[in-house]
């Protein structure tokens, strides 16, 4: 309570309505809150089908006493303590077990990759696009390997501005650098790129491998969107005073968790608990909406760079390495740093000044269609009742699952009819 009081006092002193307003103003958009809400709504059908499929797999693993096939999910079973990244659920949810794996760990070992060679390979990716190579100081002054002399170090990868006139400006907004990092990670892990650099023996030729690949990608991207949205929606409301009774703050958090993410607390909670700040980013005052915008921007950036590289076909097959046109487009955006509004930087790269979910929905369209068909065949409807196990239901925009079920299956029925 004191934290919120002091942060609000600071924000008001600096001309903001409250501290949540100050956090949002970093995005230089008076409609940012509604824009994010609209993006979340655009993504929700895909998330609902992913949630329903994962729920069925958890039901198969843990049984009906733990998993309600029409309800929310225990947060503790979703891959990490907060249910943020679901990628650890891949082993129980793999759509087509036994298909060729995109895991190149063995190839890296067999080909003698060292720490330096991995960085050199990364550098070669960027220089192939016409970007500048890493300077020798990167290898001379960076800590690339954890010391073995007993020193305690933080191994989280970061780059620091030493204010020496040779380093880099901040990104256009907090989501931009996150989006670039995730985008490059995604592109270099595509079958096309892994095959090109000799880490895959052959390119997959069937859609089963593609569905497996997209499912794994969705567990680290699509599943995070409502989670990141939730954290800041709850904080914005708390700072705004929407929860005047402190004793109800945690209840409000779990109501939102049920409504937005479709999860419930794995253990009984009391007014003495406050679970939102249990994650590092909230406890240390980082906004989480940067990760939401990151995921949206990641696919907008991918679409634009693939177009510049002359790619045609699904985004999942795009590899824009070796394209100097894509490199120039990326460089033109990056060199702006935060010197101009982020919408200007977005327009330089994508031709639009607004974030939109079209590219990410298109990227995952094959997986979404497969999920719709699979959930229908299993008798699983997307959505959930927000009444947690043992009673104590809460209000939700998801109260009528039948309407959600009908609306999200309209595209499938239409496609089936057209066939």
User: Taking the CB of residue 370, how many other CB atoms lie within 10 A of it?
Assistant: 21
Contacting residues for 74 by C-beta, under 8 A, at least 6 apart: 66, 67, 263, 264, 265, 266
Q: Are 308 and 325 in contact (CB under 8 A)?
A: yes
Token duo for residue 232: 């800041």
Per-residue model confidence as pLDDT tens for the chain (419 residues): 899 999 999 999 999 999 999 999 999 988 999 999 999 999 999 999 999 999 999 999 999 999 999 999 999 999 998 999 999 999 999 999 988 878 899 999 999 999 999 999 999 999 999 999 999 988 998 889 889 999 999 888 777 777 777 655 878 998 998 999 999 999 999 999 999 999 999 888 888 999 999 999 999 999 999 999 999 999 999 999 999 999 999 999 999 999 999 999 999 998 889 999 999 999 999 999 999 999 999 999 999 999 999 999 889 989 999 999 999 999 999 999 888 999 999 999 999 999 999 999 999 999 999 999 999 999 999 999 876 544 333 333 333 343 333 344 434 333 333 33
Binding residue positions for Zn(2+):
178
Binding residue positions for chloride:
27, 290
Binding residue positions:
27, 178, 290
Which letter, b or e, does each residue of 343-364 get, where b requires 16 or more Cβ atoms within 10 Å of its Cβ?
A: bebbebbbeeeebbbebbbebb
Q: What predicted TM-score, i.e. pTM, was given to this entire model?
A: 0.88
């Amino acid at each position: 309570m004191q934290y919120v009081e002091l942060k609000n006092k600071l924000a008001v002193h600096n001309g903001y309505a409250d501290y949540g307003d100050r956090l949002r103003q970093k995005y230089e958009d008076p409609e940012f809150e509604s824009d994010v809400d609209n993006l979340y709504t655009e993504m929700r059908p895909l998330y609902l089908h992913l949630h329903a499929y994962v729920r069925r797999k958890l039901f198969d693993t843990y049984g009906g006493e733990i998993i309600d096939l029409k309800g929310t999910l225990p947060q503790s079973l979703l891959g990490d303590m907060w249910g943020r990244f679901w990628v650890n659920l891949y082993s129980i949810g793999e759509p087509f077990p036994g298909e060729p794996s995109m895991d190149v760990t063995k190839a890296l070992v067999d080909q003698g990759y060292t720490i330096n060679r991995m960085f050199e390979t990364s550098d070669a990716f960027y220089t192939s696009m016409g970007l500048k190579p890493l300077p020798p100081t990167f290898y001379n002054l960076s800590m690339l390997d954890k010391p073995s002399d007993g020193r305690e170090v933080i191994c989280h990868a970061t780059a620091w501005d030493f204010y020496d006139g040779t380093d880099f400006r901040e990104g256009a907004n907090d989501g931009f650098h996150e989006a670039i990092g995730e985008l490059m990670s995604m592109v270099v892990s595509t079958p096309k790129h892994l095959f090109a650099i000799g880490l895959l023996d052959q390119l997959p030729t069937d859609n089963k491998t593609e569905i497996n690949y997209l499912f794994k990608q969705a567990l680290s991207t699509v599943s995070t969107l409502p989670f990141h949205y939730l954290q800041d929606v709850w904080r914005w409301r708390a700072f705004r005073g929407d929860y005047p009774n402190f004793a109800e703050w945690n209840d409000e958090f779990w109501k939102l968790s049920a409504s937005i993410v479709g999860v419930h607390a794995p253990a009984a909670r009391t007014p003495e608990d406050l679970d939102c700040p249990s994650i590092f980013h909230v406890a240390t005052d980082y906004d989480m909406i940067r990760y939401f915008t990151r995921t949206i921007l990641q696919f907008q950036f991918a679409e634009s760079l693939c177009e510049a590289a002359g790619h045609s076909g699904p985004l999942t097959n795009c590899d824009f390495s070796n394209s100097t046109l894509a490199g120039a487009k990326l460089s033109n955006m990056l060199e702006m740093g935060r010197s101009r509004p982020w919408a200007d930087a977005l327009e330089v790269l994508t031709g639009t000044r607004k974030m939109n979910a079209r590219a990410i929905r298109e990227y995952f369209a094959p997986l979404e269609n497969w999920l719709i068909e699979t959930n229908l065949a299993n008798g699983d409807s997307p959505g959930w009742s927000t009444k947690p196990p043992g009673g104590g239901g809460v209000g939700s925009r998801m109260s009528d699952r039948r309407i959600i079920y009908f609306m999200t299956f309209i595209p499938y029925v239409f496609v089936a009819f057209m066939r």
